[in-house]
Amino acid sequence: MHQSKVSFIDIKSGDEHSFKMVYHQFYSRLYYFIFEFVPQHDIVENIIQDTFLTFWNKRQELRDDTNIGAYLFTVAKNNCLTKLRNQGYRQKLFVSHILEESELDLNLDVLSKIDSSSFALKEIEQIIEKTLEELPPQCRKVFMMSRFREMKNREIAEELDISVKVVEKHMTKALKSFKVALKDYLPLVAYLFIQ
């Protein structure tokens, strides 16, 4: 969505440039998704590395029409579940006072019910497109510059010749609309809401 398409055929044939493009496209999305359930940076990094390593190692076994996003989120989800069930990792999260046992169990429960299939991601994309269309034009432009071009508020303000306050107002309005529209999919789209 709003990104150049990477050829899965190129990745299957071992093209590292295409793999790097996928890595950059999905890294922050996976980071925020995983962090929702395992809020410790080094563990999140480990899960992301494991996820991309699995993708690279199994690339030739996957079908040509594999939805890369759905595959990566599913692998990341399964890696998270493994970590949350692992006594060593659970202990690490307790000792560092990051999560109580009840929170860990809740995260495990919520995560196991998340639908990371290509059907769910397609539905999310449709909701995002529809919500974008419903935003006022300037608000839509600001949101897209922020989230899809990863521009800072100050850069957006300069490019559109408006104040940073106006950019913030547009972002607040857009984020409110997205939070309502995507409430059932929040962990999968957490990256949209990080300020």
Per-residue pLDDT reduced to its tens digit, 40-55 = 888 899 999 999 999 9
3-state class (DSSP) for residue 9: helix
Residue 67 contacts residue 120 (beta carbons within 8 Å): no
Query: What per-residue confidence (pLDDT) applies to 194?
Result: 63
Is the Cβ–Cβ distance between 189 and 182 less than 8 Å? yes
Name which of 56, 35, 55 is nearest 45 in CA terms: 35
Q: Long-range contacts for 154-161 (Cβ within 8 Å, ≥24 apart)?
A: none
- pLDDT tens-digit map of 72-116: 999 999 999 998 888 887 777 767 666 677 887 888 888 888 888
Higher pLDDT, 56 or 94: 56
Distance CA 75, CA 137 (A): 37
User: Quick one: pLDDT at residue 1?
Assistant: 44
* pLDDT for position 31: 92
74, 88, 108, 188 from 114: Cα distances, Å: 9, 24, 10, 8
Going from the N-terminus, what domains does the chain have, and what CATH number goes with each? 8-116 (1.10.1740.10), 120-193 (1.10.10.10)
Record the tokens describing residue 144, joined without a space.
């897209």
User: What average pLDDT does the structure give for the chain?
Assistant: 86
More confident residue, 65 or 167: 167
The DSSP string of 21-88 is HHHHHHHHHHHHHHHHHS--HHHHHHHHHHHHHHHHHHGGGS-TT--HHHHHHHHHHHHHHHHHH-HH
| Tokens 């984020």, located at residue | 175
Residue 3 has pLDDT above 60, yes or no: no
pTM: 0.70
Please state at what angle helix 137-147 crosses helix 153-160, rounded to 10 degrees.
140
What share of the chain has pLDDT > 70, as a percent?
Answer: 92
Q: Which two tokens stand for residue 54?
A: 């699995």
